[in-house]
């Protein structure tokens, strides 16, 4: 299967011809945020399912995906896993975005026997959720700071959650996003001892 990174917290998972997008963002929704998912037409074409960790414009832009099935992570907290599109089972858990920022979820996606966990805009992880998302195959974790954990906190948390691979997200990208203060390099400096899977902007990895 394939994992494609479209910047910020947005990934496309593709398995057996089916595509799920996680946390698509609205380009230009904020000052300094100039990523556009429409710049990746091949990656977003044929998406059948959209998973949304929470309702902020840099995570819940469903407009390009009319007709796709939507998984609302916040509304699905505590519910049994559900097969959103063929082969993709999703569930969600409560996470903490920080004071005054509203509800947020972590989404777990099981596909092809692998488990992906996407932490949304986590600024701290409730212990009951940490227990549920341990030992994932791939942990997508925000590292950019201000709205979420920063690089050091993210690295510390990732170590306790013990995933096979850590996939950093929600970081500053030169010329594209200055919405958050820290870059990927800042995280890499803090990530000793972790298996980090880096996917370039617009790039894909077969996993
Ligand atoms: Zn947010
Ligand atoms: Zn965000």
Tell me the pLDDT tens digit for each residue of 121-153: 999 999 999 999 999 999 999 999 999 999 999
Long-range contacts of 72-75 (CB under 8 A, 24+ apart): 73/104, 73/105, 73/106, 73/107, 73/120, 74/103, 74/104, 74/105
For residue 175, report the distance from its CA to the centre of ligand 2, in Å. Answer: 18
Report pTM: 0.98
User: 56 C-alpha vs ligand 2 centroid, how far in Å?
Assistant: 7
Supply φ then ψ for residue 66, to 5 degrees. Answer: -65, 135
CA of 58 to the centre of ligand 1 (A): 7
Q: Give me the chain's average pLDDT, please.
A: 97
Range of the domain at 193: 2-206
Structure-token match 């986590």, residue found: 122
Ligand nearest to the CA of 58: 2
Distance (Å) from CA 113 to ligand 2 centroid: 28
Contact between residue 32 and residue 177 where contact means Cβ atoms under 8 Å apart: yes
- Return the pLDDT at 60: 98
**Nearest to residue 140, comparing CAs of 167, 103, 160?**
167
Ligand nearest to the CA of 73: 1
Which CATH number is 182's domain given?
Answer: 3.60.15.10
Question: What is the average pLDDT across 55-62?
Answer: 98
What is the per-residue pLDDT across 1-23, written as a single tens digit (0 to 9) for each? Answer: 999 999 999 999 999 999 999 99
User: Residue 147 Cα, ligand 1 centroid: separation in angstroms?
Assistant: 7
Please state the domain count of the chain. 1
- For 74, 90, 118, the CA distances from 171, given in Å and listed in that order, are 23, 25, 15
**pLDDT grade for 39, boundaries at 50, 70 and 90:** very high
- Ligand 1 centroid vs 60 CA: distance in angstroms? 9
d(CA 25, CA 2): 20
Q: How confident is the model at residue 29 (pLDDT cuts 50, 70, 90)?
A: very high
Among residues 116, 112, 80, 81, the alpha carbon closest in space to that of 5 is found at: 116
Q: What is the pLDDT of residue 31?
A: 93
- Note residues around ion ligand 2 (Cβ under 5 angstroms): 58, 121
Token code pair at residue 101: 């920022």
Q: Quote the ligand 2 centre to 60 CA distance (angstroms).
A: 10
CA distances (Å), origin 121, targets 104, 149, 172, 192: 7, 8, 14, 23
User: Residues of the chain with pLDDT > 90: what percent?
Assistant: 100
Distance 70 CA to ligand 2 centre (A): 18
Residues with CB under 5 A from ligand 1 (ion): 56, 121
């Amino acid at each position: 299967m394939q994992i494609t990174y479209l910047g910020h917290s947005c990934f496309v998972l593709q398995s057996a011809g089916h595509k799920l997008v996680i946390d698509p963002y609205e380009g230009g929704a904020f000052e300094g945020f100039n990523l556009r998912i429409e710049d990746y037409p091949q990656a977003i074409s044929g998406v059948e399912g959209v998973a949304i960790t929470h309702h902020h414009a840099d995570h819940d832009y469903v407009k390009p995906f009319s007709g796709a099935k939507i998984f609302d992570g916040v509304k699905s907290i505590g519910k049994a896993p559900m097969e959103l599109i063929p082969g993709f089972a999703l569930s969600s858990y409560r996470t903490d975005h920080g004071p005054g920022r509203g509800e947020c979820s972590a989404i777990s996606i099981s596909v092809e026997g692998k488990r992906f966990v996407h932490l949304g805009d986590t600024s701290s992880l409730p212990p009951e959720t940490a227990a549920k998302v341990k030992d994932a195959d791939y942990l997508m974790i925000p590292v950019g700071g201000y709205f979420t954990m920063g690089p050091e906190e993210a690295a510390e948390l990732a170590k306790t959650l013990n995933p096979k691979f850590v996939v950093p997200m929600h970081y500053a990208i030169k010329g594209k996003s200055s919405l958050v203060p820290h870059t990927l390099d800042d995280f890499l400096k803090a990530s000793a001892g972790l298996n980090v899977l880096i996917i370039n902007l617009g790039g894909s990895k077969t996993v």
